[in-house]
Structure 1
Amino acid sequence: MRNLIFVCGLTLLAGGFAQAAEVKVEWQEPEKFTDIRPANDSRKVYRERVLKKIDGFFQDMAAKLPEGYQWQVTVTDIDLAGDVDYFIGGAGNAIRVIKDIHSPAIKFSQVLRDKHGEEVFSSDEKLRDMGFMQSLRTPNDNEEFRYEKHMLDDWFNKTLQPKVEQYAKALPKVSQ
């Protein structure tokens, strides 16, 4: 019992809430998404890699939400940054060319519930980062699907996280 009280006390002293919401990401007909076209992988292998990576982005965001929250996300479309271009030099050779006219986009619906099952926030989101080529990059910024990650992180920091903080402030204070 002392350990539990001590851990809770540390969380309160840190000025926030314990971080670790549960997120469940569902993919609605990913084979029909606008653009998850591979350059040189098989379609299935590449699609699985994209979905796993983007699922990881949602997991990272969920780690910033309060403990006990449940976040249900249903992704309905993805349009990766760039476009696959087949070039001369051999059959099947292709590369993903990143140009600002092929901006990343994602569509999803979501519901976030607190630890009591009460709805905190729900919405249908249509994100597109038209200025993805103008964002500042670090020299080591070579992460695969970095433009999609930046777009999601930006949305999370500007939209979802403030809603969660506003919700937490509106809750009645628990007497000590």
Structure 2
Amino acid sequence: MRKILLLCGLTVFAAATVQAGEVKVEWQQPEKFTDIRPANDSRKAYRERVLRKFDGIFQDLAAKLPEGYQWQVTVTDIDLAGDIDYFASGSGQALRIIKDIHSPAIKFSYVLRDKYGEEVTSGEEKLRDMGFMQSLGLVNNSDEFRYEQKMLQSWFKQELEPKVEQYAQSLPKVSGPTP
């Protein structure tokens, strides 16, 4: 019985990993990005935290790509939602204040390759979500970079996924042996 359960568990795990592309994110001079300013952390520590979080966002998106796909992303600028206000708290503590006039933005270039190394698509993107406060369905989400995450998820779903699907449909159909 244990062997059957183990086999079932491995089968479920294998099925869950069938669709899993990989991403490599390169950060081009993040110290010069438009806005990765901390409220109260050191600049370096905050920048490293932001880059780790964005690495995770790109990893989550890459997991939706077909197995073996390689996605190379070079981020050239980030402008986080909101702005730092050094007087808002009245206590000398700086706060990041989120207002719709300070929309999130990101600039990056990318190349997506299939499991054989063939280029599926590439491009340069300059994303800015001017309606980020009205379009977000994550009211209770306390994730620090939820606006930027939502912007990247929307781009991925609207732009990259259709290109991957179109590419897959353009490939010649391989017919196997007939039973």
TM-score relative to the length of structure 1: 0.88
Aligned length: 164
Q: Deviations over 1:116-137 (max 9, x none)?
A: 1100000000000000010143
Q: Deviations over 1:4-57 (max 9, x none)?
A: xxx7xx96xx9xx93111100000000000000000111011000100001101
Q: How far apart are the structure 2 equivalents of 1:127 and 1:63?
A: 21
Tell me which amino acid in the other structure corresponds to 2:111. Answer: V
Q: Identify the residue that residue 156 of structure 1 maps to in structure 2.
A: 156
Equivalence map 1:37-48=2 (5 Å) = 37-48=37-48
Contact 2:82/2:97, CA 8 A, preserved across alignment: yes
Q: Identify the residue that residue 78 of structure 2 maps to in structure 1.
A: 78
Equivalence map 1:26-175=2 (5 Å) = 26-87=26-87, 89-91=90-92, 93-175=93-175
Percent identity, aligned pairs only? 74
SS at match of 2:151: helix
User: Judging changes above 3 Å, is the alpha-carbon distance between structure 1 residues 48 and 18 closer, same or farther for their aligned structure 2 residues?
Assistant: same
SS at match of 1:25: strand
Tell me which amino acid in the other structure corresponds to 1:55. Answer: D
- The 4+ residue runs of structure 1 with deviation greater than 2 A are 88-91, 136-140
Deviation, 1:158, is 0.1
TM-score relative to the length of structure 2: 0.86
Q: How far apart are the structure 1 equivalents of 2:140 and 2:83?
A: 23
Higher-Rg structure is: 2
Q: How far apart are the structure 2 equivalents of 1:143 and 1:90?
A: 24
Deviation, 1:90, is 4.4
Unaligned runs of 5+ in 1: none
Q: How far apart are the structure 1 equivalents of 2:82 and 2:139?
A: 20
Contact 2:71/2:113, CA 8 A, preserved across alignment: yes
Contact 2:136/2:147, CA 8 A, preserved across alignment: no
Tell me which amino acid in the other structure corresponds to 2:65. Answer: L
Q: How far apart are the structure 1 equivalents of 2:139 and 2:114?
A: 38
C-alpha root-mean-square deviation of aligned residues, in Å? 1.9
Q: How far apart are the structure 2 equivalents of 1:123 and 1:18?
A: 26
